[in-house]
Structure 1
Amino acid sequence: MQELGITPKYIPGRANIVADALSRNPPAAQQLMPSSAEVSRMGRAQHLPVRPRPLPEAVPVSVQPIGSLGAEYADLPDLVPEIEESQTPVKEGDGQQSRVGMELQSLTVSATQSQAFLDACRRGYSANPFFHPVLQYLSQQHPPALTPDFALRLRGMSLCAGLLYFEGNRLCVLRSQQGTVMAGVHTPLHAAHFGTGKTYRKVASLYYWPKMWRSVASFVRACDRCQRSKGPTAARPGLLQPLPIPSRPWKSTCIDRLTDLPPSGDEGFDVILVVLCRLIKAVVLIPTHSTAGAEETARIYRQHVSCKKGFQRHIVCDRDPRFVARFWQTLHASSGSEVDFATASHHDTAGAAERMNRTLKEALQCLVDTKHSRWSEFLYDVEFVYNSSVHEGTGFAPLALDGGKSPLIPPALNLPVSVEPSFDAKEFLGEHSQMIAAARDSLRSAQQVMTRNANRRRRPAENI
C-alpha cells in the first residue's frame, strides 16, 4: 500500500455509513404504486375482473382468476388461488430523467378448500370401500363391537359435518380427488415442484388417504416439469463388468496420460505416459511432451515397453486423439495387438491407470516440494519404489512377480551379507508359477469385492 501511495484513514463505526440497498430510504409509496385509475385501465385492457383488496398503506391491486394462470394450473378446479399483481414504471419528478421501468409484483397465493370439493368428499365416502365402513360406524349412535382388523382402520378417525378426519385435522380424501390435492401442493408457484419428501409432508399435514406415500411418489415421478428441469437421481444403469484377468505378465496393459504438468528438465517434459501391466500391476513411467502426436507416442511406447517387456495381446486405453489415430491402431494391428477403447465418460474401464495417476501425482508432490520444475528427476525413483512395494490387489511386489524374486532395496544393502542358498531351476520356475497363480486369485477376489461395492450404486439395465 505504501508503494501505491495509499494512505489508510480510520472511520469510526457510527460515521461509516455506506449507502446500499438495505440502508437507503424507500421511495414514496405514491411513486412506486399505480393509481386506482391505472389499475382499472390495466384490468380492462387484459379483460380481467378488477377487485380492490385492502392492504397496508391502501395499495390498490388487481386480481386474476385461476383461468388466467395458464394451462399448467387449469387442472386445479377445487383449489381457489388468489393472485394479486400490480406493475407500473417508476417515474421521477419534473425535470429529472425517467428511470428504467421496474415491475413491482405482489404475489399472495392461498389455496382454500372449495365447497364443491367438500361436497364431493361427502358424496364419495359412501362408494369408497375404505372410508364407507368407517363412515357407517361413526354415524351410528350405538355402534357394534369392533373386530381387530377394523379397529386398526378406525384408529384416529373422527366424523364432523359429514366429513371424515384422521388425527383430528387431516381431511380424508377420495381417490378421485387425490390428484387435485397433490397438484395443488406440488405444481403451483408457492410449491416450486419440490421432491417426494417435501410434497408428502405438506400433503400429509392436511389430508389423509391409504398408501399416501406411494401416491405422492408416483405423482412426483410422473410430473413432466420435474422430469424436464431436474437432474437424474436414480442409480447408474448397468452393473459393473470387470475385464478378464490376463494369464501372464505384460500380456495386457493399460495406457493413460498424466497431463497439465509444469515443464521439467532441459527438454521441457510436461506429460507422463503411464503404462500399467494389468496382471502384476507393474508400471512404466515415460516423460514426454503434450505436443507429441500418435507417431511419437507409438515410438516411445515401443522403445520403453514393447522392446523390454514384449508385445501385448491387449492394450486398454481411453479415447485420446493419439490413441484413436489411424497410425496407432494400424501399428498395433500389424503387430498382432488388439487395442480396446474405453467408453466415453467411463473412467472405470481403465481404472487401474486412473488410480496410478493419482498415486503418481501424490508421490511427486511429496518429492518435489516447491521445486515443481524438477519432477522429471524423481520420476524413475517413483517407478522403482512403486514396483518394489507390495500391491494390495495381488499381495506381491510387481518386480517380484515379474522377475521371480524380490528386488534389493537400499535398506537391505546395510545388512550383513549371508550365504545365499543354491536354487534349482525347476524349483524357481515352480515358485514363480505359484506366485503368478496366487496373484491371479488375489486379483479375482479384489474384483469381486470392487464389483459388489460398485453395484450398490448401480441398477441392472437392458442391453448394457
Structure 2
Amino acid sequence: MHARWLVFLQRFSFTIRHKPGVENKVADALSRKAALLTQMQTELVGLEYVKELYEEDADFCSIWKQCQDSQLPAGYSLIQGFLFKQNLLCVPASSWRLHLIREVHGGGLAAHLGRDNTIHQVQARFFRPRICRDTIRFVESCTICQTYKGGAQNTGLYMPLPVPNSIWEDLSMDFVLGLPRTRRGNDSIMVVVDRFSKMSHFISCEKTSNAMNIANLFFNEVVRLHGLPRSITSDRDVKFVSHFWREVWKRLGTELRFSSAYHPQSDGQTEEVNRTLGNMLRCLVQEQPKQWEDVLSRAEFPYNAMTNRSTGKPPFEIVYTKTPNTAVDISILPKWTSPAASKFTEDYSSMLQEIRQQLIDSNYRYKTAADTRRREKLFQVGDLVMVRLRRERFPGWNLFQVSTAQAWSCSNSCQNQ
C-alpha cells in the first residue's frame, strides 16, 4: 500500500512544508491530535485537587483517616490517593460535585438525557450523600432542557371532563385524517361521540372541508337525529376555531369547549374511538383500502352495539332502551316478549341515573390509577412558568410570570398535562 502511494506521489513535483495551525483553516481531526490530548490532560489534572479535600470533608473525613491508618471500612478503599466505595469515586463537597453532574448530563459526550438516565449514569460512577437529590435539582433547572424539550411530564393529577347528565347533550368531535381518497373524493372521517352513552357517528368528509361544510354535515347527520347539543368538546383545529363555527353555535346557545394545546388526553375518549375505528376499518377493507367509505356504516353499527367499558352497557341500549337486532336474533331466536325488557323500558330514567353513576365511578377509577404515576404541581401568584406555544409561530418555550388571574388556570393546565 505504501509503495503504491509512493509511486503515485512521485509523478508530482511538491515540497513538504510545515503550516502553523492558525493558518491551516481546513485542519482535520488528525492534525489536531496533539492539541486534543493536551486539552484532555489539562482537564483531567484538576481531579488531583480532590485528594486534598478528603481530610476536611464532613462526609468523608472519618473514613479518610481510617484508610490512612490502614483500617479500611467495609466497601471503602484508597487507590492512588482517591477514595473509592467499591468501584465508585467518592466526591467531597466542592464545585466538582456540580461540575461532574453537568458533564454527565450535558457535556461533550452527553445529550441532555432525562432525569432518570442522568441519575443512573451519575450513580454508576460516583458516590456521595444526596447525589440523587442534587442531580434531580440540576436536571429540572437545566435551561437547555426546558427550552428545547417537549412538555410531556407526569406533573399534575388526572382531571377528567365533567360527567354529562343525559344522552346527546354533551358531545366530542375529532377527525381521522390521512385515509386513501375514495371515488367520492373523501379522505377523512369526522367522529362525533356522545359523552354520556358513548354512541358514535362516523361521517366521511374531505380534509380540505371548511367550517361551513363541516357544519352542514353535522346538522345533516347528527342534529337531525338527536337535536342540538348543550356543549361540544374538540381540539383546536382550524375548522373549530373559525369565526363561522363559533358564531353558529353561539347563536344556537351551544357551548364550545377546546382541549389544551399539546395535550390530547383532554379529549382522550375521542382519541380512543379513533384508534378503535382504525382497527375495525383495517379488518373490514383488508387488501382494498380505498373502499373504507363503503364499509364505514358497517363499522359504526358494531361499535355502537358492543358493550362500553365505562358504562357497562352498549350505546344502543342506553339511547334506544334495547340492543339492536342482528342476523342471529332474526333468523334463529323466536320472537317473544320479555317481562324484564318491559320493566327496563318503564325504569328508563332510573337507568340513566345508574349510567351516570357508573361514569362517575369509572372516572374515579381512572383518576386513581393515573395519579399513582403523577405528582401534583401548583403555582402561586408571581411564579415564573415556561409556557409552550405553537412551534410555527413562536419556536421553543417562553417565560411568563403568573398573574393573579392566571395562577388558577396555569395550575389546572399543568394538572391536565
* TM-score (ref. length: structure 1): 0.65
- Alpha-carbon distance between aligned partners in 2 of 1:387 and 1:178, rounded to the nearest angstrom: 63
- Secondary structure of the residue that 2:18 maps to in structure 1? helix
- Alpha-carbon distance between aligned partners in 1 of 2:136 and 2:207, rounded to the nearest angstrom: 51
Q: Is the 8 A contact 1:248 1:279 kept in 2?
A: yes
Q: Partner letter of residue 83 of structure 2?
A: Y
Deviations 1:149-189 (A, max 9, x none): xx9xx43456789x573458876553136348727964765
* Candidates 326, 340, 350, aligned match of 1:434: 350
**Shift in alpha-carbon separation, 1:167–1:273, aligned structure 2, 3 A:** closer
- Secondary structure of the residue that 2:189 maps to in structure 1? strand
Deviations 1:64-92 (A, max 9, x none): 59xxxxxxxxxxxxxxx723xxxxxxxxx
**Shift in alpha-carbon separation, 1:158–1:233, aligned structure 2, 3 A:** farther
Using the TM superposition, give the Cα deviation of residue 404 of structure 1 relative to its aligned residue in structure 2, in angstroms.
1.1
Using the TM superposition, give the Cα deviation of residue 241 of structure 1 relative to its aligned residue in structure 2, in angstroms.
1.0
Q: Is the 8 A contact 1:264 1:374 kept in 2?
A: yes
Deviations 1:279-307 (A, max 9, x none): 11111222233343222221221122112
Q: Partner letter of residue 200 of structure 1?
A: V
**Shift in alpha-carbon separation, 1:112–1:171, aligned structure 2, 3 A:** farther
What residue number does 2:364 align with?
A: 448
Aligned residues: 365
- Alpha-carbon distance between aligned partners in 1 of 2:302 and 2:87, rounded to the nearest angstrom: 71
* Candidates 251, 254, 257, aligned match of 1:340: 257
Using the TM superposition, give the Cα deviation of residue 319 of structure 1 relative to its aligned residue in structure 2, in angstroms.
1.7
Instruction: Looking at secondary structure, tell me which structure has more helix per residue.
Output: 2
What residue number does 1:155 align with?
A: 74
Alignment of 1:249 onto 2:167 = yes
Q: Is the 8 A contact 1:316 1:340 kept in 2?
A: yes
Q: Is the 8 A contact 1:236 1:457 kept in 2?
A: yes
What residue number does 1:92 align with?
A: none
- Alpha-carbon distance between aligned partners in 2 of 1:60 and 1:300, rounded to the nearest angstrom: 69
Alignment of 1:129 onto 2:58 = yes
- Alpha-carbon distance between aligned partners in 2 of 1:156 and 1:356, rounded to the nearest angstrom: 56
- Alpha-carbon distance between aligned partners in 2 of 1:221 and 1:248, rounded to the nearest angstrom: 44
What residue number does 2:324 align with?
A: 407
- Alpha-carbon distance between aligned partners in 2 of 1:433 and 1:460, rounded to the nearest angstrom: 38
* Candidates 22, 38, 50, aligned match of 1:82: 38
Q: Structure 1 stretch 181-190 or stretch 361-370: which is displaced more? A: 181-190
Using the TM superposition, give the Cα deviation of residue 399 of structure 1 relative to its aligned residue in structure 2, in angstroms.
1.0
Alignment of 1:38 onto 2:18 = yes
Q: Unaligned stretches of 5+ in structure 1? A: 1-22, 47-58, 66-80, 84-108, 144-150
What residue number does 1:238 align with?
A: 156
Deviations 1:414-454 (A, max 9, x none): 224243257898x4554322332332233223222332343
The 5-angstrom pairing of residues 21-420 of structure 1 reads: 38=18, 41-42=20-21, 82-83=38-39, 109-110=40-41, 114=45, 118=48, 121-122=51-52, 124-134=53-63, 154-157=73-76, 165-167=83-85, 173-176=91-94, 178-179=96-97, 182=100, 186=104, 189=108, 196-197=118-119, 199-200=121-122, 203-204=125-126, 209-215=128-134, 218=137, 231=149, 235-265=153-183, 267-420=184-337
Deviations 1:77-111 (A, max 9, x none): xxxx723xxxxxxxxxxxxxxxxxxxxxxxxx346
Using the TM superposition, give the Cα deviation of residue 243 of structure 1 relative to its aligned residue in structure 2, in angstroms.
0.6
- Secondary structure of the residue that 2:94 maps to in structure 1? helix
Q: Unaligned stretches of 5+ in structure 2? A: 10-14, 25-29, 379-410, 413-417
- Secondary structure of the residue that 1:285 maps to in structure 2? strand
Using the TM superposition, give the Cα deviation of residue 456 of structure 1 relative to its aligned residue in structure 2, in angstroms.
4.5
Q: Is the 8 A contact 1:182 1:216 kept in 2?
A: no
Using the TM superposition, give the Cα deviation of residue 365 of structure 1 relative to its aligned residue in structure 2, in angstroms.
1.8
- Alpha-carbon distance between aligned partners in 2 of 1:199 and 1:165, rounded to the nearest angstrom: 19
- Secondary structure of the residue that 2:271 maps to in structure 1? helix
Using the TM superposition, give the Cα deviation of residue 38 of structure 1 relative to its aligned residue in structure 2, in angstroms.
2.4
Q: Is the 8 A contact 1:252 1:277 kept in 2?
A: yes
Deviations 1:228-250 (A, max 9, x none): 67x36973433221111111100
Using the TM superposition, give the Cα deviation of residue 310 of structure 1 relative to its aligned residue in structure 2, in angstroms.
1.6
Using the TM superposition, give the Cα deviation of residue 320 of structure 1 relative to its aligned residue in structure 2, in angstroms.
1.9
**Shift in alpha-carbon separation, 1:42–1:239, aligned structure 2, 3 A:** same
Q: Partner letter of residue 38 of structure 1?
A: H
**Shift in alpha-carbon separation, 1:38–1:225, aligned structure 2, 3 A:** farther
Q: Is the 8 A contact 2:101 2:122 kept in 1?
A: no
Q: Partner letter of residue 128 of structure 1?
A: D
Q: Is the 8 A contact 1:239 1:458 kept in 2?
A: yes
- Alpha-carbon distance between aligned partners in 2 of 1:159 and 1:271, rounded to the nearest angstrom: 69
Q: Partner letter of residue 253 of structure 2?
A: G
What residue number does 1:98 align with?
A: none
Using the TM superposition, give the Cα deviation of residue 392 of structure 1 relative to its aligned residue in structure 2, in angstroms.
1.6
**Shift in alpha-carbon separation, 1:393–1:171, aligned structure 2, 3 A:** closer
Q: Partner letter of residue 122 of structure 2?
A: Y
Q: Is the 8 A contact 1:317 1:342 kept in 2?
A: yes
**Shift in alpha-carbon separation, 1:178–1:261, aligned structure 2, 3 A:** closer
- Alpha-carbon distance between aligned partners in 2 of 1:418 and 1:130, rounded to the nearest angstrom: 84
Alpha-carbon RMSD: 4.1
Percentage of matched positions with identical amino acids: 25
**Shift in alpha-carbon separation, 1:24–1:433, aligned structure 2, 3 A:** farther
* TM-score (ref. length: structure 2): 0.71
Q: Partner letter of residue 298 of structure 2?
A: D
